[in-house]
Amino acid sequence: MKTRKPFVVGNWKMNGDLIANEHLFTALRASIDRSLLSQVEVAIAPPYPYLGQASAWLGDTEMAWGAQDVASFENGAFTGEVSASMLRDLGCRWVIVGHSERRTLLGETDDLIAHKAERALAQDIGVIVCVGETLEDRESDRTESVLAAQIDALARFTSGVRVDRFVVAYEPVWAIGTGRTASPEQAQAAHVFIRSRLAQAGADAARVRILYGGSVKPASAPSLFVMPDIDGGLIGGASLVAEEFVAICRSAALA
């Protein structure tokens, strides 16, 4: 039986507007009650402009809100960047770093991602560090070497990090936004490897939550979440549909 509390995070990516967000927040408040939240932790990561709206709608609930990225700089002349201290001022409890879209489209490196995580942790903001391989990596049998490099880059802080502030999300790049999903067995094998590598990096690996992210839908969630080393999900498109996101949260609670 799992001892780690499951965690489901809705990553809205670059989607939403004030009216649509209001409808979505209303539906989430109506469906995700304290009973469910006693069984699964839930967080929403909207785009930066809507963090204040998230605070207004979720501030009196036990749902958390967070950001999709954070600057690697503390503060200063960095036009367009948002610092960890600013996210803390907005009540963010979590921030996603190293999402595959930022690694691929913006060239973010393992070292940069580790530095961003450190900035957030210094402000007592929990980090969700994304790792994962491309289809080419998997087909060339490089999955474990890619994951090892991504995890090893975090070793400078993992030995002392609080497990309630540090989460890893395994997102096979080939399954993000494609409709493809790793099989439960493929995902479990990757999670086992990540957990073992975290242990080598000095983390309290048995207590670190590792989420699966990669086109998770209500239909696929139960078979994924029942795997012993999968502790919930980082949800993309399905987090924009209240009924689907709530169904995924309920699956995590039942796993």
**Which residues have C-beta within 8 Å of that of residue 202, sequence separation ≥ 6?**
155, 158, 159
Verify whether residue 99 is a known catalytic residue. Answer: yes
Name beta bridge partners: 129. 97, 168
Buried-state track 113-122, b at ≥16 Cβ within 10 A, e below 16: bbbbbbbbbe
Q: Find out whether 8 and 248 touch, Cβ atoms under 8 Å.
A: yes
Cα 42 to Cα 28, 93, 193, distances in angstroms: 10, 11, 25
Verify whether residue 115 is a known catalytic residue. Answer: no
**Can you tell me the distance from the alpha carbon of 150 to that of 97, in angstroms, rounded to the nearest whole number?**
12
Among residues 108, 171, 191, 244, the one annotated as catalytic is: 171
> How many C-beta atoms lie closer than 10 Å to residue 106's C-beta?
10
Among residues 99, 101, 108, 191, the one annotated as catalytic is: 99
Catalytic sites, residue numbers: 99, 171
